[in-house]
Structures are given as structure tokens and as C-alpha cells.
Structure 1
Amino acid sequence: MGKRALCIGINDYPGTGSDLSGCVNDAHDWAATLQSHGFGVTLLLDAQATLAAMSGAIEALVAGAQKNDTLVFTYSGHGTWVADEDGDEADGRDEALCPWDIATRGPLLDDRIRDIFDRRGAGVRLLLISDSCHSGSVTRGDDSDLDAGGPRARFLPPEAWMRPGDLPGAARAASLGLIGGMRRAGGDLLLSGCRDEEYSWDTSFAGRPNGAFTFYALKTLREKKPRTYEQWHAEIRTYMPTNRLPQEPQIFGTRTARRMPIFE
């Protein structure tokens, strides 16, 4: 059984005026955790994470996988959306990840990612961890670890990177529409920082920038030692959402996948 992971973190978005702070730390933190669980990890940070490099790295992750291998893909950065052109989206928009060079090369669309994921061989397990996008509000949980000051949403509106003549007719928050590229049976699982209509938040803890979802996911993994993804998700939900972090972490996958041992 092979274990391989791709961890992407992008703080720097040239030409958009929308830089973030915690995404590179997120990627380093996920990489260190995955390495401690026996994964070989590829890191793409800031200028390394171009549109071409991200697409190529996801292809490489999938291409070498064999039956019973486990693949993990973590992404921390902005999410965005464009108008759907092929009619496969009920909401009329294609969701996307934002590469470092989005202002010149555009986003990495969910359609492209689904196409790559679909090339996996039978019996290859995939875990996608997304700390990006969305919007909303609630009141519970515990955000006492959070530093003073306001968190920043990890959503890049189309007007920040798209030419005025190309802008869609209406702007709204983006969700990662990647679940369509994940298999409804077997070991596929998605852990995301929030619901489709919410944002994930970029903030800091004890003076160190992080994504809120990443911080609490790794804190609960260390301190609570959950055995399954289902237990892990439940522990993360004891911290979010709150008034300052209005995001509701999500888990998608079959009952079998949710109850699998973490990172196995």
C-alpha cells in the first residue's frame, strides 16, 4: 500500500490585491502531519503553485497510484467561480481553485480536477482536504485560541482577477464543486472548511497565521486522537462555527469511508 500526498498553500496572489497570510503555514503543517503518518509529500507554495504546476502535480499524484494506495490532496488558498459554459452545473457556475498566477492564467476549474480524479485506477483511495472559499454565520463552538482582529475570507471574487468585459452577470460566494470528481462508493472522502454557501477564514493563533479549519483539524488530531474521519470531523465541529468564525466544517463520503482509520 502506497501513501502519497500533495499539499498546496498560496498566500501571494499578484495583481489581485487579495493576498492571504495563513495558507503557506497550512501547507507546511499538513505536510509535516502526513509525513509523520508515512506519506511521501509534494509541496507547492506561492509562486511554485502556478496553474500549470498545480494541474501537473494533481495529474502526477493520480497517475502513479495503484490499488489500495491512499492519496491525499490538501489545498489552502482562495476559491473562486466562473460562469458554467457546458451546462453541467445546476447553479450555473463552475467553481475553481485559485493558482498563484490567476490574474494572467485564470483559475483551475472543478471540471478539470474532476477529469484528473476520474483517471484513478480501481481501489485507489482519495482524501481531499479543502481550506478555502464560501460565506455565512452561526453562534457556537470555541474560538478562544483565535488572536484578536478580524479573520479574512478565503474567497477571491471574479472582479479581483477577471477582466471587466469577462465578468459574469452576478457575483456570489464559491463552493468547491469537486465532490463530482470523487467516487460515491469506496474510500473517497472530502473534508472541507465550510458549507457551500459559507467562507473559510484566514486568521492567526498565538501570532502565527493559519486557516481556522486547518488549525482546529490538526489541533484535534493531536489532542483528541480520533480514530476515524467521522470522529475527527465531530471533534473539529466542537470548535466551529462561532460568531467570529462563521463556518461549518463538512465531511462527504460513504459510511464506510467516514469510518476508515485516519490516513490509512
Structure 2
Amino acid sequence: MARRALCIGINNYPGTDSDLSGCVNDASDWAAALTERGFTVNKLLDSAATKAAMVQAIDTLVTGALKGDTIVLTYSGHGTWLPDTDGDEPDARDEALCPWDIDSGNVLLDDELHDLFSRRAGGVRIVLISDSCHSGTVTRGDESDLDPGMPRARFLPPAVWMKRDALPADTVRPTRLSGGFTRAGGDLLLAGCLDTQFSWDTSFNGRPNGAFTFYALKTLKNLPATATYEQWFKEIRNYLPSTRLPQDPQIFGTRSARRFKVFA
């Protein structure tokens, strides 16, 4: 049973004036953690993470897996949305990840992810970890690791990248992004926040990271070998949300998927 992963991190978004700082570190940190757990890992960072490259790498990851294999996809970067055209979204919006070349109008839709994931063989386990998008109001959690200063939201409003004549009426409100990816066809989704919130790009101990990624990996180090995704998620929730990081991490999947052994 093979274990393979793809870790995507995009800080640089040319033409948008919306660069981030912690996404490449996120991808490298996920890659290191997964390598320690026996995964063969491929990374796409910044200019390497065009839409075409992302689609090709995900397709290779999925179609190359056999029954009993586990594949993990991590994404750190901006999320966005655009008007739904096929009527499958209750809020009339398609949710999307933002490749490096989004300024050319290239987005990776949840529908496209669903098509890619549907190519897997029977018995292949898919875990998607998304540290992108959206802001909440709950005030609790340990902030001792967080550096001073305001974090930046990992959400790219359509007005930043979409051609002006195609803009919908509301370009600012982030809605249902992480929820939309529950329909992408994987077994399990770990997301940085609620559908209507932002995931924050910030800094810890002088080093940029996404808040969700930082605490997910911090808690991962102390998990027992037999821990499940459900148990891991509960540990992450000890840190998020907090006063300065108002984001509620989410876990989506069946009861049995949530009880899978972490990265097994």
C-alpha cells in the first residue's frame, strides 16, 4: 500500500497586489511531516503552481494510486469564487482555488476537483487539507505562538482577478468555499475555517505560516500513533479559533472516514 502526497503553496500572485507570505512554508512543512510518515511527496510552489501544472499533478497523483493506497493533497494559497453556471450550487457560486496564474483568469473549481478525484480506483483513500479563505467571532484559544501584528486573509475577491465586465454584483463576500470542496469527491477534508470565514496568513516565532497549518502540524507532532483524524481535529480546536485568529477549523467526511488513523 503506497502513500503519496502533493503539497501546493503559493505566496506570489502576479498582477493582483494580493501576495501572501506563509503558503510556501506551509507546503514545505506539510511535505516534511508527510515524508516522515512514509509518503512520497511532490511539491508545487509559486510559479510552478499554474492551473495546468496543478491539474496535471493531481491527475497523476489520483490515477497512479491503486487499491489500498492513501493520497494526500495539501493546498495553501488564496481561495475565491465565481458565478455557478451549471446549477449545482445552492448559493449560485462555484468555489475555487487560486493558481499562480489566476491573473489570466485561471481558477481550479470544486467541480474540476470532483472530476479529478472521481478518476481514482476503488479502495483509494483521498485526504484534502485546505488552508485557504474566509472570519468568525469566537474568542478563545492559545495565542502564545502568534507574533504581533495583524494577519492577512487568504481570500481573493473576484474583483481582483476577474474581467470587469464579467463581475457579479457581490465580489467581496466569501461564501461556502470550504463547504463546496466537501463535494470534491475525497474521503476527508480538513479546512481552515467555516464557509463564511477567512483563513489567516500570519507569522509565528518570526516565520510566516498559515494559522491552521501551524497548529495542525504543532498538534500532529504530539499525537499518539493510533490517533484518528477526529482526535487530531479536537486537538487543533484547542488553538483555533482565538481572539486574533477568528477562524473555526472544519472536518468533513463520513463517521468512518473521521475515524481513519491519521495518514495511514
* Farther-moved stretch of structure 1 (150-159 vs 217-226): 217-226
Alignment of 1:65-144 (within 5 A): 65-144=65-144
Aligned to 1:46: 46
Q: 1:182 aligned to 2:189?
A: no
SS at match of 1:6: strand
Q: Is the 8 A contact 1:114 1:180 kept in 2?
A: yes
Counterparts of 2:126 and 2:106, CA distance in 1: 26
The structural deviation recorded for 1:19 is 0.1
Match of 2:57 in 1: 57
Aligned to 2:251: 251
Query: 1: distance between equivalents of 2:44 and 2:222?
Result: 28
For the Cα contact (< 8 Å) 2:126–2:188, is it kept in 1? yes
3-state SS in 1 of match to 2:26 = helix
For residues 2 and 224 of structure 1, the distance between their equivalents in structure 2, rounded to whole angstroms, comes to 22
The one-letter code matched in structure 2 to 1:196 is D
- Considering only aligned residues, what root-mean-square deviation do their CA atoms show, in Å? 1.1
- The one-letter code of the counterpart of 1:143 is E
TM-score scaled to structure 1, two decimals? 0.96
Q: Which residue of 1 aligns with 2:167?
A: 167
For the 8 Å contact 1:51–1:105, the answer to whether it is kept is no
Letter in 1 for 2:80: T
In 2, Cα distance between the equivalents of 1:133 and 1:73?
17
Q: Which residue type is aligned with residue 173 of structure 1?
A: P
- Return the letter of the residue paired with 1:208: R
Residue identity (%):
65
- Which deviates more, 17-26 or 135-144? 135-144
CA shift, 1:224, in A, is 4.2
Report the CA distance between 1:44 and its aligned residue. Answer: 0.1
Query: What SS class does the counterpart of residue 5 from structure 1 fall into?
Result: strand
Q: Does 1:205 align with 2:204?
A: yes
CA shift, 1:135, in A, is 2.5
Distance 2:73 2:169 in 1: 32
Question: How far has the Cα of 1:168 moved from its partner?
Answer: 1.2
Which residue identity is paired with 2:48? Q
How many residue pairs match? The answer is 260
The list of structure 1 runs, each at least 4 consecutive aligned residues, that deviate by more than 3 angstroms after superposition, is: none
Deviation at 1:136, TM superposition (A): 2.1
CA contact (8 A) 1:12 1:19 kept: yes
Unmatched tracts of structure 2, length 5 or more: none
